[in-house]
Amino acid sequence: MIEITEGSHAVAKAVKMSRPQVIAAYPITPQTHIVETLADMVADCELDAEYITVESEFSALSACLGASAAGSRTYSATTSQGLALMFEVCFNVSGMRLPVVMTIANRALGAPLSIWNDQQDSIALRDCGWLQFYAEDNQEATDLHYIAYKVAENPEVLLPAFVCFDGFILSHTYEPVDMLSQEDVDLYLPPYKPAQRLDAADPISFGMYATPEYYMEFRYEHDLAMKRAKNAISKAGKEFGEMFGRDYSALVEGYRLEDADTAIITMGSLCGTVKDAIDEMRTAGKKVGLLKIRCFRPFPSEEIRKALSHVENVAVLDKNVSIGAKGAVAIEVRDALYGKTIPVLGYVLGLGGRDVRISDIKNIVSLAESGKGDQFYGIRPEVL
Amino acid sequence: MAETSCELFDCGHRACGGCGAALASRLILKATGKNTIIAAATGCMEVFSTPYPETAWKVPWIHSLFENNSAVASGICASLKKQGRTEKVVAIGGDGSTFDIGMLCLSGAFERGHDFTYICYDNEAYMNTGIQRSGATPFDASTTTSPAGKCSKGNARPKKDLPQILAAHGAPYVATASIAYPSDVVKKIEKAINTPGPCYVQIHAPCCTGWGFEGEKTLAIGKLAIETGLWVNFEMENGVVTRVKKVVRKPVETYLKEQKRFRHLFKPKVNAEEIAKIQAIADKNAEKYGTDLKLKSKPGPVVP
């Protein structure tokens, strides 16, 4: 059913229909509307979950870790500083292969303090061994939660997942969203059956320490699981498409890319602006296309390589920066194209909520076509 | 080897000979029985009992981080409640984890009132990293980060009063115990896990390596701590002290002189001024908890 709803509310409804058994959450802007909505649902007995009002994000994810290890489907949501505070726990959850799903309402990291959107927070945790999905709009943000649980809990995967959507730009925007019914969700996402759990009837030890003789194999197997996740994502996305008409089988998605000379690559809500810019540029005779990255972990290197085989220029738009290097997506796209001669130029933009307009996208395409890039874009002239 | 042991905390772990914390582990599981899930903090006990692929724990056990066992336990409690399961949840941490780095999670979990028991094995310093001071290190103890020296007399601060802090959270049951009195430890843990709500048991666990005494003296040192009034075994129910171990007190020197961590108070010469300060701490403990066994007018043999 189509509803006009705020992004955070749509996500909360999707979470509710995923039937989490334990939710642990802490307020932080711009994520708070999600956990407030879930609290309302629990208070009104619409959602039968244990809701733990923890004293920090660090405890939120720690409680999720314990709840998941004890065998429950588990959920949290956070952003920015909250995610940074969870850093240590993030590695633990994935290292113990616990399929926690967490929404990230992407926001900049301080200092200076900023509550506004960029994707530095989840990108800063790109190495923590979680699946990372990025939503273009609230429909996708909503649907990706069902898919995230399905993939995370797949016995071939058993990895936690971030579902990232841009703070304010999506989280606080009212859009039409086609919400599934509970019956639909139950058909798609059966109850969680943990492969292993803390259980007095079958005692096992979780989170032991590993000496140099053993440690590397844990990381190796973690990496293998992440690689297997590609297939699991495609399968889960395809099944979703067959059941509900929206196919998410592709980890990357092209827009007017087939005959493009210049390809723009980005993630999240910026894809919408880029599509509008592309339409205008196409009308003006410029062959520009978009390659949207929906799944950043596992990183779809082969898919990117294949999708870009025919283009002449690649412009990567990063709402994050690895200070002293480049935006993370630019670095990884260039790595994906290793051995090819296609120029890949990176543009760091939109940090801390700086607006990115259609005209900016057009300017960047011109820069890329003239070989100028690997730079910040949109800096105030007085500091240049 | 494992099959021959009848303990839930199995043999084959790698603790030092005479380790107070290892004895605490055994006593904890003796008290909790099989229907228990343990949430452990990083520390000696975690490291000596679970080198992959071996574990000494014959109950379900999870270790996540140094500072989050209370939060992990909170999640386990919620998870079990939702699933209608009956296992008891017990979080275990050393004093570094409990008094210092895990205090935020501990306070949060007690304030929320989860039905779990937190057990601190208190060996009065960060032993796993090599004897650094913690908030539980006693006054004047020399550690590697509070060393006695030409202008230092060891740890400059008295021990944090964590049992009182947790009682102030409204914990229904708070107790201190010592591995020197094993059956008392077991009784208190049994009481804690069978009391609904968040309960706390702090077990004095002498560390031969960190405190500097021979491993066969662990129980004797634990007893001396109580007999001198530097450790008090008590129970608090709903914030009120209901039971205290009474003693005929010995001077604190009898405890201090047995341990290398206090050696600087005796060598090269006796530091009467500092020893008096420690005696004052013991006197204050005795007064606060009423631990002194009052002798009847006719002195006779005393059974503590």
Distance of CA B121 to the CA centre of its chain: 3
For residue B297, pLDDT beyond 80:
no
Chain B contact present for A208, CB below 8 A: yes
Of the pLDDT bands very low, low, confident and very high (cuts 50, 70, 90), residue B1 is: very low
Helical residues (DSSP H) of B125-198, grouped into ranges: 162-167, 182-193
Nearest CA in chain A to B8: A203
User: Chain A window 67-106: which residues touch B at a Cβ cutoff of 8 Å?
Assistant: 67-72, 74, 88-89, 92, 96
Q: What are the extents of the domains in chain B?
A: 20-289
- Does the distance separating the beta carbons of A206 and B78 come in below 8 Å? no
Whether the Cβ atoms of residue A241 and residue A249 lie closer than 8 Å to each other: yes
pLDDT digits (tens, 9 = 90+) for B167-181: 999 999 999 999 999
Burial category of A225 from C-beta neighbours within 10 Å (exposed 0-12, middle 13-18, buried 19 and up)? buried
Of the pLDDT bands very low, low, confident and very high (cuts 50, 70, 90), residue B303 is: low
Query: What's the pLDDT score for residue A89?
Result: 98
Chain B contact present for A21, CB below 8 A: yes
B70 contacts in chain A (CB < 8 Å) = 59
- The whole-angstrom separation of Cα A56 and Cα A34 is 16
Whether the Cβ atoms of residue B166 and residue B210 lie closer than 8 Å to each other: no
For residue B5, pLDDT beyond 80:
no
pLDDT digits (tens, 9 = 90+) for B229-266: 999 999 999 999 999 999 999 999 999 999 999 999 99
User: Which of A239, A277, A297, A238 lies closest to A363 in space, CA to CA?
Assistant: A277
Q: Whole-angstrom distance between the N-terminal and C-terminal Cα of chain A?
A: 50
Indicate the residue of B58, B64, B82 with minimum beta-carbon distance to A92: B64
- Does the distance separating the beta carbons of A62 and B64 come in below 8 Å? yes
* Pair type for strands A262-266 and A252-255: unpaired
Indicate the residue of A22, A59, A209 with minimum beta-carbon distance to B52: A209
Q: Over the Cα atoms of chain B, what is R_g?
A: 19
Query: What's the pLDDT score for residue A15?
Result: 98
What secondary structure does DSSP assign to A338-361, as a single string? TT----EEEEE--GGG----HHHH
Segment (H or E) for A61: helix A57-69
Indicate the residue of A21, A88, A203 with minimum beta-carbon distance to B60: A203
Chain A contact present for B71, CB below 8 A: yes
User: Which residue type is seen at B288?
Assistant: K
According to DSSP, residue B197 is labeled S
- Does the distance separating the beta carbons of B82 and A21 come in below 8 Å? yes
Assigned token pair, A342: 């296609």
Nearest CA in chain B to A25: B75
Of the pLDDT bands very low, low, confident and very high (cuts 50, 70, 90), residue B304 is: low
Strand order in the sheet with A50-53: A50-53, A22-25, A74-78, A101-106, A161-166, A131-134, A295-297
- Does the distance separating the beta carbons of B74 and A66 come in below 8 Å? yes
**What mean pLDDT do residues B46-62 have?**
96
The share of chain B scoring above pLDDT 90, in percent, equals 94
Mean pLDDT across chain B = 95
How many other CB atoms are there within 10 angstroms of residue B84's CB atom? 6
Distances (CA, A) of B25 to B10, B74, B186: 10, 21, 11
Assigned token pair, A193: 């059956």
- Homologous superfamily assigned to B20-289: Thiamin diphosphate (ThDP)-binding fold, Pyr/PP domains (3.40.50.970)
User: Which of A317, A312, A320 lies closest to A288 in space, CA to CA?
Assistant: A312
Chain A: give the shortest CA distance to residue B128, in Å.
13
- The whole-angstrom separation of Cα B285 and Cα B230 is 7
Query: What's the pLDDT score for residue B299?
Result: 57
User: Which of B252, B251, B274 lies closest to B148 in space, CA to CA?
Assistant: B274
Indicate the residue of B37, B104, B112 with minimum beta-carbon distance to A70: B37
B71 contacts in chain A (CB < 8 Å) = 54, 58-59, 62-63, 66
Distances (CA, A) of A123 to A114, A319, A329, A354, B81: 16, 9, 9, 18, 35
- Regions of chain A with pLDDT less than 70: none
B79 contacts in chain A (CB < 8 Å) = 21-22, 50, 66-72, 74
For residue B301, pLDDT beyond 70:
no
According to DSSP, residue B187 is labeled H
Chain B: give the shortest CA distance to residue A191, in Å.
12
Q: What are the extents of the domains in chain A?
A: 2-244, 252-376
- The whole-angstrom separation of Cα A12 and Cα A34 is 5
CATH number of A2-244: 3.40.50.970
For residue B3, pLDDT beyond 70:
no
- Does the distance separating the beta carbons of B75 and A70 come in below 8 Å? yes
pLDDT digits (tens, 9 = 90+) for B274-288: 999 999 999 999 999
According to DSSP, residue B157 is labeled S
Whether the Cβ atoms of residue A61 and residue A93 lie closer than 8 Å to each other: yes
For residue B2, pLDDT beyond 50:
no
- Does the distance separating the beta carbons of A204 and B75 come in below 8 Å? no
Query: What's the pLDDT score for residue B295?
Result: 73
Interface test with A, best of B58, B65, B72 (most A CBs within 10 A): B72
CATH number of A252-376: 3.40.50.920
- The whole-angstrom separation of Cα B72 and Cα B89 is 10
Query: What's the pLDDT score for residue A266?
Result: 98
Segment (H or E) for B241: strand B240-244
pTM, full prediction: 0.97
Helical residues (DSSP H) of B50-181, grouped into ranges: 69-83, 95, 103-112, 162-167
Assigned token pair, A366: 């011109």
